[in-house]
Structure formats: structure tokens, C-alpha cells
Structure 1
Amino acid sequence: MELDNRNVQLLQMISSSVQITSKELMEKHGLTRNQLDYSIKKINDFLKDNNYEPMIRSRKGYFVVDAKVVDDFSGVSNSESRLKATKSSFLDEEYRLLVILLLIFSSDYLSLYHFSDTLEVSKNTIVSDIKKLKEYLDKYLITIEYSRKKGYYFKGNEETIRGVILSITDKVMESIYNTVIFHKYLQISEQEIEEKRKLIRMIEAELQVHYTDNRIQTAPYFLILLTKRIQNGHLLDQAFGTMAKEVMDTKEYAAIVKVLAGRYELPKSYSEHLYLCLFILSLKITDLSNTFSLNTDALRSHISSFIELLEKNIVIQLSDKAQLIENLALHLAPAYYRIKYGLTSEYAITDFVKNQLDPLFFMVKSSIAPLEDFFEERIPSDEIYLITMFVGAYMQKEKPINESKTTVNAVVVCPNGIISSKLLENTLDNWFPMIHFIPAFSIREFYEQEQLLDVQLVFSTTPLTTELPVIVVGNDLSAMNKNLIVNEVIQLIYKIDSYKLQPDHTLAIVKKYIELPPEIEERIRKELLISYNSIFQIQDQEVLNNEVKLHLCDVITPESIILLKGEEDWNSVLQKTTQNLIERDIVEPRYLTSLQEQFPTVKPNILLGNTIVIPHTIPENGTKRLGMCFAKIDQGFASGTERFYYVVAISAVDKKQHIQPMMELLKIASDETMLQKLAAAISKEEILAIISAVKK
């Protein structure tokens, strides 16, 4: 990657004067804290791509820069610097492409000349950009066309086009260029924004709801772009059919129409004003107390059924289920309108996040039927990923609150809604056992409650104006940012500059005098890290990350398979499978007693795919380590009116390590072909081959 002119100057300035502070850089270049953070991220991406150590900041705002970076990049006008600025516009290519999309969305005529002149790049660059955009839009079945009469324009489903634009608007709002893009390139005035924001506030008051902070910020921009698109004649060809009556009969619809009509903001087209109302209804909210004709009690009931099925499938008991149900209801109430009426999700979930979530996502998707029954629609994958993220936040290792060891109280402030808040709060809660976190706040809630809060520390995804110490954590909790956050926390709580005590810093000193083989260096780093974390009570657990990448074939091995050929009953199978776990020192003998007390018969909550019985209990009942025992019963055994042929006794030690194996076991239980192969298997080797085949 390359750096734009601004970031070239920043890197050269920091490299030339390592004592320069964040505040000085912001003042010199007219940057906000978010803009500087974004630039530092871009610079660090550039450094890592070119095999340099990234920069980090101390609590006082100074930058800690590797000597090689100083040698190669210092000097604002150093002719020997390896750093060369790009000659393109100050906009990164990524955001230049987004501007092109938004211009096409909102303008009535655009030519190559318009793009080239507006963005200050060559026509060849614009041609190349549009080619890239066409490839990006392919997955949405949207194309960019050109004619002399129309200029550049979109061709595709209008509702899909608007969904893409909503996602792009969100993305632009997160960038350092948001003001420039909307005001300079799209000619949107601050007065227009304020008028739309006032409209949103009036709807809030009429409905007696609170929208999340980021929706209040982003929705006005999308509403202005939407108005321009309608004025340019791009109208929906969807009438929503008979489903529209359900919305039109609600008090929310009537309230929104009242506000829109009172301000002359109601589109003339029936489909357009219904779309606008649905968009507003789908905005994320912060409470359910005074909103929605939607039957929220029925929604909670279906959520409860979903959680019960999920717990069965992943062999865990989720903590604080009442709060989980309430928070999921809070998220799913506005999502109902997106799902029910096919509105494109407003969320963009990265491939990296999806890869991290995959095993849990599969289990959530396999348990989603109760929610789909409520919506009477298939739930899109991106919505299921959001639900997965939310469930994952409740699967964190629980940290018992020990007031005698709690050093400070803290609060998380996050404008992005309940899912982001909960994930961030749980991540930080796990990192810092010495901190007691009170429930998270939105920005508005924080300012309203600030004087009443008994906290000594605030973690926020955005800068705040407050007398309390604020650590701005952003939405990126990568390893690099974790080090920065940990250092700031340690300095605030223990009054120590911990950077010089960190393992990498210590290792750098040692390596000046001793050459270390890579494997020895890694072992020393791990031991130093353990010691460092122990001294400052820092945990090292990542959100939703299955730390030990075990597969089912790693847990079910030849010694954990038993073949039962004679007459059996449920109790004898339960004894034999659990005894296998006892003999392999996976569980204590009392584990069997707990299972016998809990499951005198085969109950629905230990049935996987209605074919495989999975007896298990909580770790406190005698679990020593993760393990399974797979039993195939040739003649089967009866329980009630059913007959079963497979039992997998399970010992789970936490809420994460066994998720991948359970996902693979559920795949077997749900696959008729694999079950037929299992029925035909007569040896341990054949069973192991089937189990290994399901591994990704």
C-alpha cells in the first residue's frame, strides 16, 4: 500500500521528533482525535506491509518508534528518505471509490470530466476506478452504465441499490474524510443535515424512543441522498403487496407519517413513503419500553426457545439469560422490519470476523428456527452473524466480582448499539480483572448520567468532553491496540509507564547482546508475557475466538469409542460411556452420579438431530478436561417410545473449546448420508474415518 501526502508528512514528522505529542500533531494538521487515530492506523499498516515495527503511543501522547523507522523515514524534506507520497488526490483510493458511488447515487448527470474535475485525478484514474466499482457491485447484481443522455448511472434493483448506499454512508461516516466527502464533494450543507436530524428527533419524541447515537449521526445523510435520488426520478418498483397493511395498521406508522406530513417530508409515491417509514422503523433503538405494536412478549418467547435449542446444540448453559433475552429483543425488534420486508441490512461484517465466528455461526444457524417462525421469513446470513456476535458476548469466561481485588470502577461508552457495546464491555472486562464495569452507556446517556456515575475510568469508542479519564479504544481491539490500551490502564491505575516492562521491549534489549534462535525467543516471550500479565492482573482472552482449534477427530479417538453389540438399556449405556471418561481421567466418578440424577430417561435437551444422545452436565459436577466417549449400540436401546443407536457422553470445561467439535457432531447428526455410513460401520476405524471426513 501507499500513503497519501498527509500521512507521509505525519510519518516523517514523528520519525524526526519522537517527543512530538498527539496533541501537537492534531493542532499542526488540524486533525481530530479520530482522524489522527485513523492516520496512525494507516501508517502502521504501511510499516507492517514493509516489514517495519509499528508505532505505539505512550499515555502522555508521545510516540514510541523503532530505530529502523527513524533511520529510514525521518526528515520532512530528507531526499534520501525511502518514503514517497502518492501524487493522487489527498483521498485514499478506497474513499475516492466511495465518493464516485455516492455521486452516481445522488446526481442527475455525471461524465468522466465531472469526476476528474471534482476529485482532481486524471480521466484514466476514473476509468480504472469505475472498472473496480463494477467488480465490487457484481455481487449485488448492480451495474454502472453510461449513456450520453444520462451520463453514469446505476442499473439494478432500486431497493438493493439503496441498501448498498446505506452501507457506504455508514462506512464514510466512520472515516476521517466524512465532512469533506459530504460537504465538498456531495454538496450537502450543514443546514440540510441539521434539518434531517431535527426530523429524526421529532420522530423520537412522537414514538417515545431513543435511537442509537450512530443512527442519529448517519440517518440524516442517507435521508438527504434518498431525497435527491427520488427527485432524480429513481423510484421503487416494489409496492410491498399485502404485507404493507401490517405496517400501516400500527401506531408507529401513523406517528411517523404525522411527523413527515407535518414537515412536508412525505413522498408522494405510496411505495416511497412506505419505504421511508420502514427505514425509520428499522433504526436501532436503546430501549423497548414505549415502542412498537410488535408483540414483544411473543418475540421474547421465541428468543427463549432459540436460546434453549442453542444451549442443547452447543452443550453449554448461557449466563444471565434474562438479560440476554431482553437485549436480543431490543436488537431484533427493529430488525423485524428489515427481515420481514426484505430491507438490506445496515451492517457490514468483515470476512475476518466471519472466519472467527464460523463454528459458533453454524450452531446459531442450526438453532435459528424459533426466530424464523416468529418472523415468518428466512433470516439472512448477515443478521445471523449479528445474533452470533451477540451470543458470543455472553459466552465469555465469567469473571467473579471480588470487591476486595477490584481497584477501580469503569464504564464503556459506545454509540453503536447494544451488540457492539456488549462485545466491547465483555472484552475489556475479561482483559482487566482489577476493574469492575458497570453497564455500558450510549453517548447521550453518559452525558445525562455523568454527574451521578461512581466511576474512575471511561472507555469510549469516540472522544468525550468530560473531567473523567477517558481511554479512546475505537472499534479495533487488535493485538497492537490491546497493548496501547493495557499500557494506558496500567499507567492510570498503577502510575507506571508499563511500556518499558513489556516483553517485546525487554527482548529487544536482550537481543542487542545475545543472538537467540527463533524458537527460544518465542519461549522467552511467552514466559515474560505470563509474568507481565500476572503482575498487572491482565487476562489474555479474545472475544469469540476458539483458542484451541480442536476438531471432533481430535476429541474422539480409538480409545474413546466403544462398540456395544448385546442387549442394552439407557442406564447401562450411560454407565459404560461415562466409565470410559472416568478411566481416561477426563471426569471424576461423581460425574456419572450427576448424569444419572439429571437424565433418568433420554430427554429432548440431550438429543442432537433427534439421532445422537449427548449426555452432559456442568463442569462443576466433576469435569477435569475436555473429552467425549462415542458409543455405537448395534441393537439400540429404548427410551420412552423411541429407540436410539448412538450416545456421545461429553465433558466440557468451558463455553468455547468444544464448539468446533460440537459443530462437526451436529453436521453428522443432521446428514442422512453420514448417518447411513455410520449405521454400516462395524469397526472403530470406519467410525473414525466418518468423523474425520467432517473436518473442514
Structure 2
Amino acid sequence: MDLDNRSVQVLQLIASTVNISSKEIIEKYDLTRNQLDYALKKINAYLQESDYRKIIRSRNGTFVVDTKVVNSFSGIENSESQLMADEYSFLEEDYRLLVILLLIFSADYLSLYHFSESLEVSKNTIVSDIKKLKKQLKQYKLTIDYSRKNGYYFRGDEETIRGLILVVTDQVIDSIYNHQIFEKYLAIQSKEIETQRKLLRSIEKELQVQYTDNRIQTAPYFLVLLDRRIKNHHYIEKYFGLQAKEIMDTNEYAAVVKVLAGKKMLPKSYTDHLYLCLYILSLKVTDLSNIFSLNKETLRIHIEMFITTLEKNTIIQLNDKERLIENLILHLIPAYYRIRYGLTSDYMLTDIVKNQLDPLFFIVKSSIAPLEVFFEERIPNDEIYLITMFIGAYMQKEKPINLDNTIVKAAVVCPNGIISSKLLENTLDNWFPMIHFSTSLSIRDFYEKEKTLDIQLIFSTTPLKTDLPIIVVGNDLSDMNKTLIVNEVIQLIYKIDSYKLQPDHILSIIKKHLPMNTETEGKIRKELMISYNSIFQIQDQEILTNETKLNLSDLITKESIIILENKLSWSEVLQAATNNLIDRNIVEARYLKHLENQFPEVTPNILLGNKIVIPHTVPENGANELGMCLAKVTQGFMSQGKIYHYVVVISATDKKMHIQPMMQLLKIASDPKIIRCLDNANDKESLLAIIQKFKKI
């Protein structure tokens, strides 16, 4: 049997979205309860007919989905997904709007009649669609105009238009309508895409780089649309000036021009051929063998300065810094062209991921100055979010590799580039101590090396054709269905179906027979989870977020504030503040000795905003738990010829729990108005009131 379009959409959504509820599906697709029930019946009939397990609706309104269903039906951006809209599927409104945008972008002349005939909707619907698009385009300072001579067309900055179309192209690629939109509505032929893909392969060879799988998949479509726009006489008007000379003098520019000219694909317009070269050079890479014209050693120095500043602001020593620097170089070389020349980022982050990253993002942004000096440009927030994801992957407490205790070896396959693959690898590495993750690979690398890999298991963000056992996980960290992943790992390694042993399932049985309040239920669930994780050696840790959401006010309380009225030395202030932590059993007595040895004077690496001194040392030196002591020295103390009034001694036991409090402390140290408020506070209550204002910001 075949599924109708609505059922295809519902199946895709359930398979690819963790813990989505019936209510969310009903609201997204404007369904009634009966319509959803009918769709689920059709979906389950289809799954059973195709030898898959049925989707089960749980008591809390979410769905229990077998991992094989997730593997087969969640990934849409790859060509191997089993879900695809056929050419007769009726486009839902959101995708119809994308088609209208792409048509206006690439076509020579378009009227209401063209839209109505092509999309098989009324002219009134098209008029309504264009009104909605005009509202959406206001944020880009673009609009859609109409004239009898030109039909419908964009009005606005050409570079902005191209950036928008790059984003829209990626959105279409990720949809079940991708083939339908590109082939049916935009009339893009497969041979056009293959021509552009061969072009990128030739450029890879000439530059000695390897582009990410995603860029090899999506860039050819943008290049086809870009070629159409140039042929329709829409040119870049930006004057690059001295920046143009900078880029045209580079080896990589010469290499790209050589390939484009050799294939007779170099635009005649000077600004457009420069734009095309910059776009190609800005594509993300997974491997970089060539020595680019960018001074890598200078970039390395600025990265090291950035990491030093970041470590000070986070009070964290990052692991494996040499590898971190090399991978940052790999990421920042193509990013240089995006940032330096104002091109659109080739990686879009969801608001959910951004919200999770916010505390660390603020600290990374506050530390980014050395990189901005290298780029000679302000780094956009989207690029800083990417760097934040990257840094977050290295903030894990690394698991010592003991191959005697690992049960299987695994590889991670990810088409999204070095940032996503590192983030995914570290997440899984923390979840599964019994697995040794030997390598991260692109899809191309995997197929080339598959026969030589010494592994028994693959984790991938996209389905693969392989005889090896494979577990498909979500593209975004926030979307990973940990329950499904853990269950399948246990099935593969221990040959046990662990679903009936999971804490939520056991708890549902207990609740049938024993009434309990919310607090009791939470405690029982926590103990069941600890026991479950212990039995199967599962770690319950997150990479960038901490579930307890600690704030600065949770660590700096009335008991952890001291006011020192007398004139004291740095050594005396350090002793008084650290003794507060010792008295509260947050640190051992030896913690003070280590601080005294490390910091006989105040040094730049323990200064926040040049106002707050933050002495700290590694957990191994006597830290028992997370804690802080704020000492206000009324008369100030002198060190290295400078006077300071505030000291916060910090005890950190891991690399995550204190990130949000540190972000809030950094905000205080960076704001002269707040420092003046602290200066005017004469007692603990007043100081505490200022700290309390930073709760959950």
C-alpha cells in the first residue's frame, strides 16, 4: 500500500522528532483528533506490511518508535530516505512559499498565471501567498514587485537576495518535497546538478581540500540557481575595493579561477566571478591538505590567545588543546571568507540549540576578540554559535581509553563537518563507556574506508548502505532520542530488549498499584534511572547544558559572602575567602595551599573585567563540591601595583555545572554600573540583592 501525503508528513515528523506529542502534530498540520488517529492507523498498516514494528502511543501523549523506523524514515536530506513526496503531492503552504521565492529568483518572467498553472492553485491564493512573503522579507529589507514588462521580481540588495536563496535552497533540500520542487517546479535537470558536482570535485582536487557531504549535496543546486540569475542579468553591485586585491592575490583564488575558466563556467561580470569564487572558498571542509594563502601560524597564535582568554573566563582547562587548535584552523579558514566578505553562513542553527548554548555562547563571545583582530572584522553571532558548539565538544571530561574494558569499537559518520561530528562523538563517548569510538568520518570517507575499518558498530546522522550494524541518531544534539539510542545499543551489545526495564516503564507499573505525589515519583524515577544506567554502563551526562540550571545566586548566598573592613594584603584576603569555603566543607584545607603557591600575586589569568579576582585551581587539589565565596574588601588591597576590591574564590568539580554562574559573574565584572552598585553596598543583604538580579539571565 502507498501512504497519502498527510500520512507521509506525520510519519516523517514522528520518526525524526524526539518526544513529539499528539497535540503538537495536530497543531502543526491543523488536524482533528480523528484525522490524526486515521493517519496513525494507515501508517501502522503500512509499517506492518513493510515488516516494521508499529508506532505505539504512550500514556503521556508521545510515541514509542522502533529504531528501525527512525533509521528508515527520519533522514530526508540524504537520497537514501524512504520517505519522498511523489510528483502529484499537493504542496503545503510553507513549501509553496519557498517555491514562489525560488521561481522569482531564477525565472526570466513570471505572472500570476504562471504561478497558478504551475502550482495548481487559484490566483487569489497566489496573491495571498505573495502578501505573506512580503511580510517575511521585510526583515531582509527586500520586497517583491510586479511590472508588465518584468513580471514578478525581487527588489533589494542583490547580495542579500543570494544569501536568502542559499538559506531557502537548504530548507528545500531538507524537505520531503526536494525532488518535486527542484525537478517539477524549477525544472532543474539531474545533468545540471551533476555538472556542478563535478565542478566542485575538480576544485577539491585543485585546492587539495574535501568539502563536507552536506555541501556536496546542496551547493550544486545553489550554483545552478545562481547561474540562472546571472544569465537573467542580475549582477552583484558591491564594490570590493582593496578587499578584492587581497583575495585575488591568493593561491586558492587562482586555483578556483583556473578550474572555472577551464570548464568555461566563469561569469563575465567581474563582481560576479569574485562572488562565485568567494562562495566556493567559504564552503565547509572536512579535510585540508593544502597550505592556504592565509597565514596559518598567525591564525594559530590568535586561536591560542582566544583559548587562553576563554579558559580564564570559564575557569576551565580545555582537553587536548593541540587537536582543538588544528580543528579550529580547519573550521576557521573557510569561515574567514564568510566573515571577511560578509557572506551568508553555510550552517543554520535552530533556536532550540541556540537557547541551549546561550550561557557558553556569552562567554565565548566575551573571549572572541583575538580572532576578530585576525579577521579584521566583527564576527557575526551565527559564526560565534558555531565556534561555541565546537568549544563545547572539547569541554567534556575525557574518558580514559581502556580497551580491555570496552566491549565494541565504533565509528561516527556525520555529513555536517568537523563541528557536528566532534560534538556527536563526544556526546556518545560520554553516554557509552563500554564503547571505544575510534574515529569520526564523512560519508565519502566511510564508503572509501569501510572494508578496512576495525569496528563493530556505526553511529550515523544519516542512513547508510552497509552490512555493519548502524544506529541512526538525530542531526541536532537537542533532537537525539536518547531512549531509543540506548535501547538499541543494549540490544546490539547485550542481546537484551531493555524497553521493559526502562525506568519510565517500571514506574508506570508501580503507579498502577501505589498512589504517589510528584515529589515521591521524581525520587523513585531518579533511583531507577541510576540503577538502570549502572547495570548497562550508561552515562547520564549532557554536553553543553546542565539540567539543574544553576545560577550565580545559588552559589553566592548570605553564607558565602564576607565583608573585610580592615586594610589587608592579597595573601590575607585569599586566606579569608578560601577559609569560608573550607569551613563549609566545599574545599579541603590543602586547596588554600595550592592557591597560595599558584597565585603569590594577582595575575591577568584570574581577572574578570579587571575588577573581580577569581582564584581557582583544579578539582584534584581539594575541591569537594561546586562553590564560591565573594569577598568585598572595603579599603581594597594591592597586588602588582594595582588596587582591587572584589575576590571570588571558586571551587569547580566538573566542566559544565558552573558555566551559567560564570556567565553571570562575567556580566557583573564587565558592567561599570553594576560594579558601582557593589561599591555602594555596605552589607551582605545589599550585595546579595545585586547578585539575585542575575537569576536566569
The question of a shared fold, defined as TM-score above 0.5 by the shorter chain, is answered with yes
Return the alpha-carbon distance in structure 2 between the equivalents of residues 43 and 654 of structure 1: 28
The alpha-carbon distance between structure 1 residues 686 and 598, as it changes in their structure 2 partners (threshold 3 A), is same
Please tell me whether the aligned partners of residues 18 and 479 of structure 2 are also in contact (alpha carbons under 8 angstroms): no
Q: CA deviation at 1:567?
A: 1.8
Matches within 5 A, 1:252-651: 252-478=252-478, 481-512=481-512, 516-651=516-651
TM-score between both structures, scaled by the size of structure 2: 0.89
Bigger mean CA offset, 467-476 vs 588-597: 467-476
Name the counterpart of 2:194. 194
Q: Percent identity?
A: 66
The alpha-carbon distance between structure 1 residues 159 and 256, as it changes in their structure 2 partners (threshold 3 A), is same
The alpha-carbon distance between structure 1 residues 676 and 512, as it changes in their structure 2 partners (threshold 3 A), is closer
CA deviations 1:161-182 (Å, max 9, x no partner) are 1111111212222222222211
Instruction: Look up the equivalent residue of 1:288 and give its one-letter code.
Output: L
2:57 to 56, 61, 66: 66
Aligned residues: 653
Return the alpha-carbon distance in structure 2 between the equivalents of residues 366 and 334 of structure 1: 23
The alpha-carbon distance between structure 1 residues 67 and 682, as it changes in their structure 2 partners (threshold 3 A), is closer
The alpha-carbon distance between structure 1 residues 480 and 607, as it changes in their structure 2 partners (threshold 3 A), is closer
The alpha-carbon distance between structure 1 residues 588 and 312, as it changes in their structure 2 partners (threshold 3 A), is same
Instruction: Look up the equivalent residue of 2:497 and give its one-letter code.
Output: D
The alpha-carbon distance between structure 1 residues 481 and 93, as it changes in their structure 2 partners (threshold 3 A), is farther
Return the alpha-carbon distance in structure 2 between the equivalents of residues 425 and 218 of structure 1: 24
Return the alpha-carbon distance in structure 2 between the equivalents of residues 478 and 506 of structure 1: 25
Instruction: Look up the equivalent residue of 1:692 and give its one-letter code.
Output: Q
SS at match of 1:638: strand
Instruction: Look up the equivalent residue of 1:8 and give its one-letter code.
Output: S
Q: CA deviation at 1:314?
A: 1.0
SS at match of 1:322: helix
SS at match of 1:352: helix
Please tell me whether the aligned partners of residues 209 and 291 of structure 1 are also in contact (alpha carbons under 8 angstroms): no
The alpha-carbon distance between structure 1 residues 526 and 123, as it changes in their structure 2 partners (threshold 3 A), is farther
SS at match of 2:630: strand
Please tell me whether the aligned partners of residues 5 and 89 of structure 2 are also in contact (alpha carbons under 8 angstroms): no
Return the alpha-carbon distance in structure 1 between the equivalents of residues 657 and 243 of structure 2: 44
Instruction: Look up the equivalent residue of 1:250 and give its one-letter code.
Output: T
Q: CA deviation at 1:501?
A: 2.0
Unaligned regions of 5+ residues in structure 1, if any? 12-35, 73-87
SS at match of 2:275: helix
Please tell me whether the aligned partners of residues 7 and 43 of structure 1 are also in contact (alpha carbons under 8 angstroms): no
Matches within 5 A, 1:37-48: 37=12, 40-41=15-16, 45=20, 47-48=22-23
Return the alpha-carbon distance in structure 2 between the equivalents of residues 252 and 91 of structure 1: 42
Return the alpha-carbon distance in structure 1 between the equivalents of residues 601 and 141 of structure 2: 53
Return the alpha-carbon distance in structure 1 between the equivalents of residues 142 and 9 of structure 2: 39
Name the counterpart of 1:180. 180
The alpha-carbon distance between structure 1 residues 339 and 10, as it changes in their structure 2 partners (threshold 3 A), is closer
Please tell me whether the aligned partners of residues 414 and 442 of structure 1 are also in contact (alpha carbons under 8 angstroms): yes
The alpha-carbon distance between structure 1 residues 116 and 44, as it changes in their structure 2 partners (threshold 3 A), is farther
Q: CA deviation at 1:38?
A: 5.1
Return the alpha-carbon distance in structure 2 between the equivalents of residues 374 and 692 of structure 1: 38
Q: CA deviation at 1:194?
A: 0.5
Bigger mean CA offset, 480-489 vs 209-218: 480-489
Q: CA deviation at 1:268?
A: 0.6
Name the counterpart of 1:8. 7
Please tell me whether the aligned partners of residues 568 and 636 of structure 1 are also in contact (alpha carbons under 8 angstroms): yes
Instruction: Look up the equivalent residue of 2:541 and give its one-letter code.
Output: Q
Return the alpha-carbon distance in structure 2 between the equivalents of residues 68 and 616 of structure 1: 48
Bigger mean CA offset, 558-567 vs 516-525: 516-525
Return the alpha-carbon distance in structure 2 between the equivalents of residues 98 and 319 of structure 1: 43
The alpha-carbon distance between structure 1 residues 68 and 313, as it changes in their structure 2 partners (threshold 3 A), is closer
CA deviations 1:529-574 (Å, max 9, x no partner) are 2222222112222231132212112211111111112121111111
Please tell me whether the aligned partners of residues 410 and 457 of structure 1 are also in contact (alpha carbons under 8 angstroms): yes
SS at match of 1:254: helix
Q: CA deviation at 1:426?
A: 1.1
Q: CA deviation at 1:515?
A: 5.3
Instruction: Look up the equivalent residue of 1:413 and give its one-letter code.
Output: V
Q: CA deviation at 1:186?
A: 0.8
Q: CA deviation at 1:576?
A: 0.6
Return the alpha-carbon distance in structure 1 between the equivalents of residues 96 and 437 of structure 2: 40
Name the counterpart of 1:214. 214
Matches within 5 A, 1:241-252: 241-252=241-252
Instruction: Look up the equivalent residue of 1:279 and give its one-letter code.
Output: Y
Please tell me whether the aligned partners of residues 89 and 121 of structure 1 are also in contact (alpha carbons under 8 angstroms): no
Name the counterpart of 2:69. none
CA deviations 1:631-652 (Å, max 9, x no partner) are 1112211111211111111111
The alpha-carbon distance between structure 1 residues 94 and 423, as it changes in their structure 2 partners (threshold 3 A), is farther
Return the alpha-carbon distance in structure 2 between the equivalents of residues 685 and 511 of structure 1: 45
Bigger mean CA offset, 133-142 vs 668-677: 133-142
Instruction: Look up the equivalent residue of 2:400 and give its one-letter code.
Output: P
Return the alpha-carbon distance in structure 2 between the equivalents of residues 322 and 92 of structure 1: 49
Return the alpha-carbon distance in structure 2 between the equivalents of residues 518 and 131 of structure 1: 49
Instruction: Look up the equivalent residue of 1:314 and give its one-letter code.
Output: T
Return the alpha-carbon distance in structure 2 between the equivalents of residues 365 and 303 of structure 1: 14
CA deviations 1:158-210 (Å, max 9, x no partner) are 11111111112122222222222111111000000011111111111111111
Bigger mean CA offset, 142-151 vs 121-130: 121-130
Instruction: Look up the equivalent residue of 1:380 and give its one-letter code.
Output: P
Return the alpha-carbon distance in structure 2 between the equivalents of residues 69 and 507 of structure 1: 13
Q: CA deviation at 1:678?
A: 1.5
Please tell me whether the aligned partners of residues 16 and 474 of structure 2 are also in contact (alpha carbons under 8 angstroms): no
Q: CA deviation at 1:238?
A: 0.5
Return the alpha-carbon distance in structure 1 between the equivalents of residues 184 and 304 of structure 2: 49
The alpha-carbon distance between structure 1 residues 41 and 417, as it changes in their structure 2 partners (threshold 3 A), is closer
SS at match of 2:459: strand
Computed over aligned residues only, the root mean square deviation of the Cα atoms, in angstroms, reads: 2.6
TM-score between both structures, scaled by the size of structure 1: 0.89
Return the alpha-carbon distance in structure 1 between the equivalents of residues 332 and 632 of structure 2: 41
Please tell me whether the aligned partners of residues 474 and 480 of structure 2 are also in contact (alpha carbons under 8 angstroms): no
Please tell me whether the aligned partners of residues 563 and 632 of structure 1 are also in contact (alpha carbons under 8 angstroms): yes
Return the alpha-carbon distance in structure 2 between the equivalents of residues 411 and 60 of structure 1: 28
Return the alpha-carbon distance in structure 1 between the equivalents of residues 383 and 457 of structure 2: 33
Bigger mean CA offset, 316-325 vs 482-491: 482-491
